[in-house]
Amino acid sequence: MFFLQTPVLLYQKLFPEAIFQLKHPNQIALTFDDGPIPEVTEFILDVLKSYQIPATFFCVGHNIIKHKKIFDRILNDGHSVGNHTFSHINGWKCSLNRYLGDVNQFEKIYSTSFFRPPYGKIKKSQYNELLKRNYKIVFWSIISYDYHSKMTENKCKKLLENQTTGGQIVLFHDSIKSFRLISKILPQYIEFCHSLNLTFVPLKNSLL
């Protein structure tokens, strides 16, 4: 089994204004994409609450509409929320206008200055236009592959632990696919980060 690592260096060249890491080397940011989803997001919120840890959720607009109460809980629990488009649209497969329309549709539900492109796929023209609109485009520095059907608990744990240092932005998912792994990995990973004396932060402009 071989998992491709995110081509972070290539992305940094293509998108120099985008965010891949935090400024402070003693901090770490956990990010959860694609929710809110019943049970999965709620489980994650329970874990975060039990450790008193803030995080960031890159939500999908149509899931917010379907699961408004869970979305409200994300906000009430003090987490940050980023725009992950309304319908989880793939930037490589659609026009600039359609892409911006989907981002705007999210914006009508919730206004945030953080944006993460679904699948990490965004064209330069789309990226430039979002920058003009003052979005901070946030990628990640560690990807957990928690959604991957062939990823095992042990491999996922090692992959995360081997890459974890301060300043990282870690990508998880609050999706049905990821629940098998994240339900086991998340508490262990939080404890691992604690053992490194890392402080968990939600994405905020001041930290980027």
Indicate whether 202 belongs to the interface with Zn ion (CB under 5 A).
no
CB of 34 to Zn ion, least distance (A): 4
Q: Which of residues 86-115 bind Zn ion (CB under 5 A)?
A: none
- Choices 9-17, 47-55, 117-125, 196-204 (CB under 5 A): range interacting with Zn ion: 117-125
The question of whether 173 is a catalytic residue gets the answer yes
Q: What is the torsional sign of CA 25, 51, 85, 82?
A: negative
CB-side exposure of 79: number of CA atoms within 13 Å?
29
State the nearest-atom distance from the C-beta of 146 to Zn ion, in Å.
Answer: 12
Q: Which of 118, 127, 168, 201 binds Zn ion (CB under 5 A)?
A: 118
Q: Phi, psi (5° rounding) for residue 76?
A: -65, -30
Binders of Zn ion among residues 30 to 69 (CB under 5 A) are 33-34
Annotated catalytic residue within 79, 84, 173, 174:
173
Minimum CB distance to Zn ion, residue 35 (Å): 10
Alpha carbons 78 and 32: distance in angstroms, whole number: 14
User: Are the beta carbons of 26 and 198 closer than 8 angstroms?
Assistant: yes
Neighbours of 17 (CB within 10 A): 10
SS3 143: strand
Residue found under tokens 């309304």 = 86
Within 158-177, which residues bind Zn ion (CB under 5 A)? none
34 in active site: no
Q: Give me the residues that bind Zn ion (CB under 5 A), please.
A: 33-34, 118
Active-site residue list: 33, 173
